């Protein structure tokens, strides 16, 4: 399977990209036998994946000794901070030309199609900056606590790093992830459709501990405001229950080292399950207050137009969602036979309990294997065996979380939310596999 770089922004016209359940049934009816066979094969335990291994006879890669077996290798890596293999240089964050109009307001997307497991390597963690990023000097950075507290305080990084710390694995998803797909199929690859999503181990101090030290008034102070030190005046209201649960962290660590500058070095808020915008980077101030602030990023942005023309506000939780990351848009199945269908599932409300996979556009479903660890508010990797017989198929995944919530289809989501939203699109993603092996983005209502 290859992952060619695909040009962004080609909007394919409807209706070819809209398929109703009836359309799919009609296609399925035409080749019911094939579908049944494919399912039977997929259900059977490991359907002979060894069949496509090359024979050692006549393969030059085996018969001729390569230079790495016959010459002296390099001493320890020249770059003291290790880098990926030169052969992996295609696996990078990518920007979508035309998405944001000024360099300061920028986005780069995580290459989900090429990742394994649940952790996003720090150098591939997506970025979203409302006013650019700086490499903030930790010696000059401060965190102020004010508002409804007994003792207002200002902490240095040294102060914060002396406090008891915890490490937790969580996903972060921009509320606008998959936002371009509301009206129609808009982007070619999973990197652009779902790549404002990453999952890391974060290390820091529970905000509750710091507020306790400052004598926060938990009776009156039912909200906090988090403020960043960048030019975007990023301020977000967070309900105090989330802080009291102990989940909200004032974090300095990511995947075992300090945060990367573009992800908020030296300090960011971690708000598990909540949309990315509330994970304030370069965190410089927490205020305790008795009501939501209605800041610009909660009054004008991060609101969703509902079908009745009214905007809904303060929608923070990222609902249960999943996506097949391979095979996915822009990839090519090189041959018929066994393929591992793999993907990610997550929920802002807790653990993933189940993921089902369909290869016929949602008519039949088979359970995928959830790979451990399955953690609350973290990405969960799933895998599913599939034998491709060279016919066209439509691949989908559907996740269920521990609250029993089932990821909706586009039809179900649009019925409630219409098509004028930007944020919180958690609909089931469909990838169409063509007879040529090419995989493309389609929408199934």
Phi-psi region of 40 (alpha: psi -120 to 50; beta: other; left: phi over 0): alpha
Task: Tell me the site size for Mo ion, rule CB under 5 A.
Answer: 4
Buried b (16+ CB within 10 A) or exposed e, 216-226: bbeeebbbbbb
Q: Quick check: 348 binds Mo ion (CB under 5 A)? A: no
Q: Which two tokens stand for residue 220?
A: 């009156």
Q: Quick check: 276 binds ligand MTE (CB under 6 A)? A: yes
| Sign of the torsion angle spanned by Cα atoms 377, 187, 176, 206 | positive
Closest approach of Cβ 132 to Mo ion, in Å?
A: 15
- Picking from 375, 96, 402, 141, the residue whose alpha carbon sits closest to that of residue 264 is 141
Q: Which two tokens stand for residue 279?
A: 């994970």
Across 45-116, where does the E strand assignment appear? 106-108
Q: Quick check: 276 binds Mo ion (CB under 5 A)? A: yes
Q: Quick check: 303 binds Mo ion (CB under 5 A)? A: no
Contact 354, 382 (CB under 8 A): no
For 195, the 3-state DSSP assignment is coil
Q: Quick check: 321 binds ligand MTE (CB under 6 A)? A: no
Selected range binding Mo ion among 131-139, 235-243, 271-279, 360-368, rule: CB under 5 A: 271-279
Of these partners, Mo ion, ligand MTE, none, which one is at the site of residue 298 (CB under 5 to 8 Å by kind)? Answer: none
Closest approach of Cβ 107 to Mo ion, in Å?
A: 8
Question: Which is nearer to Mo ion, 125 or 381 (by Cβ)?
Answer: 125
Neighbours of 312 (CB within 10 A): 13
* String of contacts with Mo ion for each residue 103-132, x by CB under 5 A: -------------------------x----
Question: Which is nearer to ligand MTE, 130 or 414 (by Cβ)?
Answer: 130
Give whole-number Cα distances, 374 to 111, 140, 232, 260, in Å. Answer: 22, 39, 35, 26
Of these partners, ligand MTE, Mo ion, none, which one is at the site of residue 387 (CB under 5 to 8 Å by kind)? Answer: none
Task: Tell me the HSE value of 109 on the side-chain side, using a 13 A CA sphere.
Answer: 22
Q: Which residue has the closest beta carbon to ligand MTE?
A: 228
Q: Quick check: 280 binds ligand MTE (CB under 6 A)? A: yes
Q: Quick check: 203 binds ligand MTE (CB under 6 A)? A: no
Closest approach of Cβ 136 to ligand MTE, in Å?
A: 10
Which residues 6+ apart lie within 8 Å of 228 measured at CB? 234, 235, 264, 280, 281, 282, 283, 284
Q: Quick check: 424 binds Mo ion (CB under 5 A)? A: no
d(CA 279, CA 274): 8
Closest approach of Cβ 30 to ligand MTE, in Å?
A: 43
Selected range binding ligand MTE among 82-90, 127-135, 369-377, 429-437, rule: CB under 6 A: 127-135
Of these partners, ligand MTE, Mo ion, none, which one is at the site of residue 345 (CB under 5 to 8 Å by kind)? Answer: none
Question: Which is nearer to Mo ion, 172 or 370 (by Cβ)?
Answer: 172
Q: Quick check: 282 binds ligand MTE (CB under 6 A)? A: yes
Q: Which two tokens stand for residue 79?
A: 């770059």
Of these partners, ligand MTE, Mo ion, none, which one is at the site of residue 223 (CB under 5 to 8 Å by kind)? Answer: none
d(CA 146, CA 288): 6
Task: Tell me the site size for ligand MTE, rule CB under 6 A.
Answer: 19
Beta bridge partner(s), residue 345: 322, 380
d(CA 429, CA 408): 10
Selected range binding ligand MTE among 60-68, 125-133, 183-191, 380-388, rule: CB under 6 A: 125-133
- Please report, as residue ranges, which positions from 224 to 243 form the binding site for ligand MTE (by CB under 6 A): 228, 230, 232, 234
Of these partners, ligand MTE, Mo ion, none, which one is at the site of residue 263 (CB under 5 to 8 Å by kind)? Answer: ligand MTE
d(CA 10, CA 180): 12
Closest approach of Cβ 302 to ligand MTE, in Å?
A: 8
Which residues contact ligand MTE by CB under 6 A?
A: 125-130, 174, 228, 230, 232, 234, 263-264, 276-277, 279-282
Which residues contact Mo ion by CB under 5 A?
A: 128, 174, 276-277
């Amino acid at each position: 399977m290859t992952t060619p770089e695909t040009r962004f922004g080609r909007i394919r016209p409807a209706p070819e990209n809209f398929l109703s359940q009836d359309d799919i049934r009609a296609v399925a009816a035409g080749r019911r036998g094939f579908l049944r066979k494919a399912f039977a094969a997929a259900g059977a335990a490991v359907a002979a994946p060894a069949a496509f291994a090359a024979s050692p006879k006549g393969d030059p890669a085996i018969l001729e000794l390569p230079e790495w077996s016959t010459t002296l290798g390099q001493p320890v890596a020249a770059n003291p901070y290790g880098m990926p293999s030169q052969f992996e240089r295609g696996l990078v964050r990518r920007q979508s030309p035309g998405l944001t109009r000024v360099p300061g307001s920028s986005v780069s997307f995580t290459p989900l199609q090429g990742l394994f497991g649940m952790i996003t390597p720090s150098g591939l963690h997506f970025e979203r900056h409302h006013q650019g990023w700086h490499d903030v000097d930790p010696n000059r950075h401060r965190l102020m606590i004010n508002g409804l507290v007994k003792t207002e305080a200002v902490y240095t990084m040294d102060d914060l790093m002396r406090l008891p710390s915890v490490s937790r694995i969580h996903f972060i998803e921009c509320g606008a992830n998959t936002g371009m797909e509301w009206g129609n199929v808009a982007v070619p690859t999973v990197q652009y459709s779902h790549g404002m999503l990453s999952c890391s181990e974060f290390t820091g101090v529970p905000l509750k501990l710091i507020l306790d030290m400052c004598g926060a008034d938990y009776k009156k102070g039912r909200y906090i405001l988090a403020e960043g030190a960048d030019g975007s005046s990023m301020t977000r209201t967070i309900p105090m229950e989330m802080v009291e649960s102990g989940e909200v962290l004032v974090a300095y660590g990511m995947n075992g080292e300090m945060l990367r500058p573009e992800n908020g070095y030296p300090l960011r808020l971690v708000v598990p399950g909540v949309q990315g915008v509330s994970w304030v980077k370069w965190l410089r101030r927490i205020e305790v207050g008795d009501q939501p602030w209605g800041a610009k990023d909660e009054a004008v942005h991060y609101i969703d137009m509902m079908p009745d023309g009214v905007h809904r506000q303060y929608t923070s939780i990222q609902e249960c969602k999943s996506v097949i990351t391979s095979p996915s848009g822009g990839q090519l199945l090189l041959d018929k036979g066994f393929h591992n269908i793999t993907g990610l599932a997550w929920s802002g409300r807790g653990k993933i309990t189940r993921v089902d996979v369909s290869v016929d556009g949602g008519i039949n479903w088979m359970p995928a294997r959830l790979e451990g660890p399955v953690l609350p508010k973290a990405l969960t990797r799933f895998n599913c065996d599939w034998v491709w017989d060279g016919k066209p198929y439509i691949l989908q995944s559907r996740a269920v979380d521990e609250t029993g919530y089932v990821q909706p289809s586009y039809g179900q989501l649009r019925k409630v939310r219409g098509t004028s939203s930007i944020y919180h699109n958690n609909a089931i993603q469909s990838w169409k596999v063509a007879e040529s092996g090419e995989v493309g983005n389609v929408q199934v209502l």
